[in-house]
């Protein structure tokens, strides 16, 4: 019945790209894309592998300027920097508000990490006792934030920080850390969306909506594939 209704809707009317984008923008404004993503996570929590989570940042080249855009010397172009959380299978879980590319991953990390955790909490995912992998770029403040939320942080030591001898010993699990590669693969998969490979959207909220739409497509495809197997 649902397939028949969808077929009738999409075949009786000719959709223009202007009409499609109009509705997309309206759903950005009222927060629909965020609500959809949280609803998908909440309904399919059992499909996630939360044996560990992966935290990573990703720079996207920006061609039109706009909000949360800054020059990134390493990329030699203007970029947007986004923080992502993924599960142990590379399913994206959350993205924080994008930041200017000239900022490093720890910029305003407390606010951004709260955002990431807030999305999971809204989806009914219990954070207590979860393991989190992150690279050495998150070595300074992230440990404290994780402790406050009872998340077990497994963060590579940044040797450039010159850790004092009096600092409390922190265990680092090298085998667990190897799981971080899944979020790098997930970021590479996200680049297969032409709209995400280079950012042309000027508004940060529109950019986040596109990311959440890609999250939803990828996760629902994986669920569908598993249900058929």
> Which pLDDT value is given to residue 228?
76
How far apart, in whole angstroms, are the C-alpha atoms of residue 153 and residue 229? 34
Tell me the pLDDT tens digit for each residue of 19-58: 888 989 999 999 999 999 999 999 999 999 999 999 999 9
User: 19-51 burial, b if ≥16 CB within 10 A, otherwise e?
Assistant: eeeeebeebbeeeebbebbbebbeeeeebbebe
What beta strand segments (E) does the chain contain?
Answer: 53-61, 70-72, 77-86, 92-95, 99-100, 131-134, 152-155
**More confident: 172 or 141:** 172
CA pseudo-torsion sign 199, 204, 210, 211? positive
Beta 131-134 vs 152-155: how paired, if at all?
parallel
Whole-prediction pTM value?
0.87
> Which pLDDT value is given to residue 225?
85
Do 60 and 196 meet the contact criterion of CB atoms below 8 Å apart?
yes
> Which pLDDT value is given to residue 157?
76
For 6-10, 14-18, 165-169, 216-220, which range has the lowest pLDDT when averaged over its residues?
165-169
Do 174 and 142 meet the contact criterion of CB atoms below 8 Å apart?
no
- Mean of the per-residue pLDDT values of the chain: 88
Tell me the CA distances in angstroms from 88 to 27, 43, 49, 127, one per residue in order.
Answer: 30, 18, 5, 15
In the chain, what are the domain boundaries? 27-126+180-218
> Which pLDDT value is given to residue 229?
67
Tokens of 63: 């061609």
What is the arithmetic mean of pLDDT over 154-179? 74
> Which pLDDT value is given to residue 166?
47
The answer to whether residue 208 scores a pLDDT higher than 90 is: yes
CB atoms within 10 A of CB 71: 13
CB atoms within 10 A of CB 210: 19
* Backbone torsions φ then ψ of 58, nearest 5 degrees: -140, 135
The answer to whether residue 127 scores a pLDDT higher than 80 is: yes
How far apart, in whole angstroms, are the C-alpha atoms of residue 215 and residue 120? 14
The answer to whether residue 164 scores a pLDDT higher than 70 is: no
> Which pLDDT value is given to residue 167?
58
The answer to whether residue 132 scores a pLDDT higher than 80 is: yes
How far apart, in whole angstroms, are the C-alpha atoms of residue 161 and residue 174? 19
> Which pLDDT value is given to residue 19?
84
> Which pLDDT value is given to residue 7?
66
């Amino acid at each position: 019945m649902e397939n028949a209704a969808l077929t009738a809707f999409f075949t009786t009317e000719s959709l223009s790209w202007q009409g499609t984008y109009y509705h997309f923008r309206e759903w950005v404004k009222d927060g629909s894309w965020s609500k959809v993503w949280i609803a998908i996570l909440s309904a399919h929590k059992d499909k996630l592998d939360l044996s560990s989570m992966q935290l990573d940042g990703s720079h996207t080249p920006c061609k039109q300027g706009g909000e949360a855009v800054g020059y990134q010397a390493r990329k030699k172009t203007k970029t947007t920097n986004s923080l992502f959380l993924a599960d142990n299978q590379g399913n994206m879980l959350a993205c924080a508000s994008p930041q200017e590319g000239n900022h490093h991953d720890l910029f305003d990390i407390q606010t951004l990490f709260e955002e990431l955790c807030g999305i999971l909490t809204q989806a009914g995912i219990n954070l207590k006792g979860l393991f989190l992998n992150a690279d050495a770029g998150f070595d300074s403040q992230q440990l404290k934030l994780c402790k406050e939320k009872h998340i077990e942080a497994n963060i590579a030591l940044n040797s450039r920080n010159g850790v004092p001898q009096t600092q409390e010993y922190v265990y680092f699990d090298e085998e667990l850390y190897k799981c971080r590669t899944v979020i790098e693969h997930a970021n590479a998969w996200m680049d297969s969306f032409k709209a995400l490979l280079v950012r042309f959207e000027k508004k940060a909220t529109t950019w986040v909506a596109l990311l959440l739409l890609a999250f939803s497509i990828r996760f629902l495809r994986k669920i569908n594939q598993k249900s058929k197997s």
